């Protein structure tokens, strides 16, 4: 994982970055319904819809440089690769956090996701991300019990700029399957057009699975 400084003298969003850094509540969330009609029929072949969604989220995040950017004081860096951090249920209840490095090759990603989630399931501690420089990560979570229409997240402070992605119950709709997905971001780094590109990349990956 490598981080690259963003040149604020040439970055087109420098004015927006400085403007939204002053906000007390600079985060916003968008929820979109996605089509899983290509994913669900493959469940019978052994495909995990959960890991297919996880992979599509990783593809979407890495398709948009702004979603890989993080604060370093009054400057910005961009990570070239992120970990996806998800709650992994423990057998006795509750959860631990797992961390899966994104890989653009799905079989490689899928195998590593299975291995790391199995390890997290039996780990001794919660294992949360701690520290400002531990931010080459995006937080993702599945709510399979809810076909939600909007979602908000717990955030520690206004400087937290790590994206949060959540997806909900996969439900039949018409002749296919649909699912809600929400992403919460910091407006100093991410605008609406970036979220449009993110959801387009996620849907394209779900259509290719």
Quickly state the pLDDT bin for 132 (edges 50, 70, 90): low
- Whether the per-residue pLDDT at 138 is higher than 60: the answer is yes
**Cα dihedral sign for 186, 32, 121, 46?**
negative
Contact status, residue 194 vs residue 169, Cβ threshold 8 Å? no
Domains and CATH numbers, the chain: 26-185+197-208 (3.30.559.10)
40: DSSP letter = G
* Vertex 76: Cα angle to 73 and 29 (nearest 5): 95
Extract the runs of DSSP E, i.e. beta strands, from the chain.
Answer: 3-5, 27-35, 69-72, 75-79, 83-89, 95-101, 137-143, 164-168, 171-173, 176-186
Residue pLDDT, tens place only, 10-46: 999 999 999 999 999 999 999 999 999 999 999 999 9
Phi, psi for residue 180 in degrees, rounded to 5: -85, 140
Average of pLDDT values for 177-203?
Answer: 98
56: DSSP letter = H
What is the pTM assigned to this prediction? 0.96
> What's the longest Cα–Cα distance across the chain?
52
Average of pLDDT values for 179-203?
Answer: 98
Contact status, residue 120 vs residue 83, Cβ threshold 8 Å? no
3-state secondary structure of 151: coil
Contact status, residue 171 vs residue 179, Cβ threshold 8 Å? yes
Residue pLDDT, tens place only, 39-79: 999 999 999 999 999 999 999 999 999 999 999 999 999 99
Give the integer Cα–Cα distance in Å for 88 and 196.
28
- Whether the per-residue pLDDT at 130 is higher than 80: the answer is no
Give the integer Cα–Cα distance in Å for 206 and 197.
14
Residue pLDDT, tens place only, 147-185: 999 999 999 999 999 999 999 999 999 999 999 999 999
CA 152 to centroid of chain Cα atoms: 14
């Amino acid at each position: 994982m490598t981080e690259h400084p963003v040149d604020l003298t040439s970055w087109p969003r420098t004015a927006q970055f400085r403007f939204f850094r002053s906000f007390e509540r600079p985060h916003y969330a968008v929820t979109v319904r996605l089509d899983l009609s290509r994913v669900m029929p493959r469940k019978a072949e052994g495909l995990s819809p959960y890991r297919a969604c996880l992979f599509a989220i990783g593809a979407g995040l890495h398709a948009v440089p702004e979603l890989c950017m993080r604060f370093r004081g009054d400057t910005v860096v961009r990570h070239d690769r992120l970990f996806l951090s998800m709650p992994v249920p423990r057998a006795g209840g509750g959860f631990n956090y797992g961390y899966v490095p994104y890989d653009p090759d799905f079989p490689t990603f899928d195998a590593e996701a299975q291995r790391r989630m199995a390890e997290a399931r039996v780990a001794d501690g919660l294992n949360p991300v701690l520290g400002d420089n531990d931010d080459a990560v995006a937080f993702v979570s599945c709510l399979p019990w809810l076909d939600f229409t909007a979602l908000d997240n717990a955030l520690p402070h206004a400087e937290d700029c790590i994206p949060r992605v959540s997806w909900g119950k996969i439900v039949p709709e018409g002749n296919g399957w649909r699912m809600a997905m929400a992403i919460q971001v910091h407006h100093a780094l991410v605008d609406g057009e970036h979220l449009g590109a993110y959801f387009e990349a996620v849907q394209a990956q779900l259509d290719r699975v």
